[in-house]
Amino acid sequence: MKKLVLYTSVDGNTDAVAHAIAERIGADMARLVRVKRVKGFGFFNNLKLRSEVLRHKKPDIFPFKWDPRDYDLIFIGTPVWFDSYNPVYNTLFNVIKIYDRKVALFSCGEKEDTKALTKLSNDWLKESIVLDTKHCVEPIWCDEDSETEAILKDMADWAEKVSERAEKMIEQEELERRKTIYKY
Ligand SMILES: Cc1cc2nc3c(=O)[nH]c(=O)nc-3n(C[C@H](O)[C@H](O)[C@H](O)COP(=O)(O)O)c2cc1C
């Protein structure tokens, strides 16, 4: 089973989770990077970014060579931005549609809230099989390193379980396919 961790991150929290997941389950990694960097979060910049999210803007992203459709299981990670997902996903999914793939979504935010993942799923992943979603709160900004490690371990444990489940589903699907073809 081919696995991909697709993610974006500005300050490093989602990046840390993506690495923890990819390392645990042996997945390839793909990071979406916007061309125009986010410079600070002052009043005006915040307004601009909020409008990007609300208006479903498609910020330019650097070109990439991977294709998520080459994978059986795709973990998709995003920082929460204004109760939603990062708009670079509008750019990606506007050109690449993911159909009939198993996906699992994760997010990082300053508070406990899974709205962003519900929106991502509803806006772009209706044709996919969303196996599970999981959110965590800013893992790299914990007071203690042990707290960071615990969050990253929790996310990696979750990903491992999802991956095992996907593997079983794929085995079962293959069995069903053979039954249909060879009638046994
Ligand atoms: C523009 C912007 C908007 C944000 N909006 C939210 C929000 O609505 N809810 C929330 O819990 N966190 C919000 N955050 C906090 C980030 O989601 C959080 O710091 C996350 O861990 C950042 O991920 P990253 O380090 O991978 O970029 C926002 C951060 C930024 C920069």
**Interval 124-166: pLDDT, tens:** 999 999 999 999 999 999 999 999 999 999 999 999 999 999 9
Ligand 1 pocket, mutate which of 19, 80, 119, 155 (most atoms under 8 A from CB)? 80
pTM of the model: 0.96
Of 151, 149, 150, 169, the closest CA to residue 161 belongs to 169
User: 175: exposed, middle or buried (C-beta count within 10 Å: 0-12, 13-18, 19+)?
Assistant: exposed
Question: Per-residue confidence at 184, pLDDT binned at 50, 70, 90?
Answer: low
Of 60, 54, 43, 112, the closest CA to residue 84 belongs to 54
Cα–Cα distance between 23 and 150 in angstroms, integer?
Answer: 15
Q: When comparing pLDDT for 99 and 3, which is higher?
A: 3
Where do the domains of the chain lie, and which CATH numbers do they carry? Answer: 3-182 (3.40.50.360)
Q: Which amino acid is at 17?
A: V
Q: Which atom of ligand 1 sits closest to the CA of residue 80?
A: 17
Q: Which atom of ligand 1 sits closest to the CA of residue 10?
A: 27
User: 20: exposed, middle or buried (C-beta count within 10 Å: 0-12, 13-18, 19+)?
Assistant: buried
Question: Per-residue confidence at 39, pLDDT binned at 50, 70, 90?
Answer: confident
**Interval 55-64: pLDDT, tens:** 999 999 999 9
